Amino acid sequence: MQTTPWFNRRFNYPDENIIAPTLERLAGTPLRLIDKVSRVEDQLLIRRPTPDKWSIQEQVGHLLDLESLWQGRIDDILNGAEYLRSYDLSNGPTEAANHNAAELEDLLVNFTISRRQTLDVLAGLNEHQLFSAALHPRLQQPLRTQDLALFVADHDDHHLAKITELMQG
């Protein structure tokens, strides 16, 4: 089963406050990721299925790479920016990072630490802050802080599903 390409996804967000279950999803990603990749052989971790598709380890590194973007976008919303900061849609930072040469353990630990920082910020927000918004540059739709958190959880799940596909060959 193949996942829909990320850039083809469309998003609709609920009006009610769903931050608590969203935080649970976000908090669970490092644990799910560790569980998933801990039983994968080293050679499979770094094997790209095709030259233009990422390996399992590069998928993990990409999640780490984007955590600072999510943190910055939360700051954008909280600071009243009209637009969320943009991202290199070619995923240049992940391509340049050479995550296959890194230690998987380091990627996982750094992702876990960075995600904890994101969760700490989100958990401390009041309802006004959770429902403040800025325009997403690619989607051209406003994202509230809560919506951004849900967007990140969906992004996590997208890459976890990609890792499952890679594990299944």
pLDDT band at 136 (very low <50, low <70, confident <90, very high): very high
Q: Which residues pair with 134 in a beta bridge?
A: 143
Determine the pLDDT at residue 99: 96
Phi, psi of 11 (to 5 degrees): -130, 135
Question: Where in the chain are the domains?
Answer: 17-168
pLDDT band at 72 (very low <50, low <70, confident <90, very high): very high
Checking if the pLDDT of 4 tops 70, the result is no
Checking if the pLDDT of 89 tops 80, the result is no
pLDDT band at 12 (very low <50, low <70, confident <90, very high): confident
Burial class (CB in 10 A: 0-12, 13-18, 19+), 24: exposed
Checking if the pLDDT of 93 tops 90, the result is no
Name the pTM for this structure.
0.92
DSSP 40: S
154 contacts: CB under 8 Å, gap ≥ 6: 9, 11
Assigned CATH topology for domain 17-168: Four Helix Bundle (Hemerythrin (Met), subunit A) (1.20.120)
